[in-house]
Amino acid sequence: MFTGNHGFLADRYVNIGQKKRTREEVIALLKQRLAPLKHTSDGSGEWKRGEAE
């Protein structure tokens, strides 16, 4: 992943019954799940989906 070659893992992604995804959609999914979660100010101490700080 450090090399930015997300396609390497996308080629090894196994669909176990999820909705059908193209290689590009798998790469987008992986990038989405690699992004940092942004801290919220709601006092919950939880992190939410967001941009890198």
Check: CB of residue 51 under 8 Å from CB of residue 38. Answer: yes
Q: Which of 27, 28, 33, 42 binds other proteins (CB under 8 A)?
A: 33
Q: Which of 18, 41, 42, 43 binds other proteins (CB under 8 A)?
A: 18
Q: Does 16 bind other proteins (CB under 8 A)?
A: yes
Q: What is the DSSP letter of 40?
A: P
Interacting residue with other proteins among 28, 34, 41, 43 (CB under 8 A): 34
Q: For 14-53, what is the HEC assignment?
A: CCCCCCCCCHHHHHHHHHHHHCCEEECCCCCCCEEECCCC
Residue ranges binding other proteins (CB under 8 A)? 1-2, 4, 6, 9-18, 20-23, 26, 30-37, 39, 45-49, 52-53
